[in-house]
Amino acid sequence: MVESKGWNWEIVNNEEKEIWKNPSIESFYLLNRWKSQDKKDFLDLGCGLGRHSILFGKNGFNVSSFDISKEAINKTKEWAEEENLEFDYKIGDMLKLPYDNEQFDCIYCRNVISHTDTEGIRKIIKELDRVMKYGGECYLTLGSKDSWGFKQESWPLIDENTRLRMEEGPEYELPHFYTDYDLTKELFSCFKIIDIYQVIDYYEKQDITTKSYHYHILIQKTKD
């Protein structure tokens, strides 16, 4: 299995950091959904700078913030303290989550678990299953094989679904696992799949448009 490696948040400039402090669109939908289901124990898996920990913390959830990057956890903690919020913080690797069985009602995991290879993904999915309560839900995203990144043939292919990203920046040399619809269905077959949809993001930089495609997945742990 490829070695885990987090984002290098130290090299992200302040302007870009601001983008990572604004909660993603779907977090508001999930906040509403999980509040109405009386969910309480929330895991922000791969929390980055903490934008979703803060959103859910401000709305009364018991927040656990987790990331492999010390800088990410430090920034989340600084921000929570400014807001007078108390979270549980842990630095670690998602391949082995430092939490009890059935600890969480809901898990938010946006653009995180794809930072491994195929063997790693299968391991993480088992960990998600272990730490989720019955009836608990997890939202996560995975890069799609339609993405520009998966088509970069000069980037090392680690296994049939995974490339090492060789673009300068915070994700340099980080593994990226890519999926398609059938593989996604197979990977999450032990859960009830509530939603799968694919989103295209367009990035415009100096007249060049690149597209990235992600699967957005919402799953529930059921008894049967």
- The amino acid at residue 147 is S
Is residue 115 involved in binding ligand SAM (CB under 6 A)? yes
Sign of the alpha-carbon torsion through 169, 3, 73, 112 = positive
* Measured distance between the N- and C-terminal CA atoms of the chain, rounded to whole angstroms: 30
Residue whose CB is less far from ligand SAM, 79 or 191? 79
- Residues 25-28: contacts with CB under 8 Å, at least 24 apart: 26/139, 26/216, 27/51, 27/52, 27/55, 27/108, 27/110, 28/55
Sign of the alpha-carbon torsion through 90, 103, 188, 109 = negative
Residue whose CB is less far from ligand SAM, 192 or 203? 203
- Please, what's the largest Cα pairwise distance for the chain? 52
Is residue 94 involved in binding ligand SAM (CB under 6 A)? yes
Residue whose CB is less far from ligand SAM, 79 or 188? 79
Distance of closest approach, residue 171 Cβ to ligand SAM, in angstroms: 8
The pair of structure tokens assigned to 82 is: 């400014």
Alpha carbon distance 46, 68 (integer Å):
7
- The amino acid at residue 4 is S
Is residue 178 involved in binding ligand SAM (CB under 6 A)? no
Number of residues in contact with ligand SAM, rule: CB under 6 A?
Answer: 19
The pair of structure tokens assigned to 135 is: 């009836």
Q: Which positions from 71 through 90 interact with ligand SAM, judged by CB under 6 A?
A: 72
Residue whose CB is less far from ligand SAM, 120 or 136? 120
Is residue 139 involved in binding ligand SAM (CB under 6 A)? no
Residue whose CB is less far from ligand SAM, 135 or 173? 173
Is residue 128 involved in binding ligand SAM (CB under 6 A)? no
Distance of closest approach, residue 224 Cβ to ligand SAM, in angstroms: 30
Residues that bind ligand SAM (CB under 6 A): 4, 6-7, 20, 24, 46-48, 51, 67-69, 72, 93-94, 110-112, 115
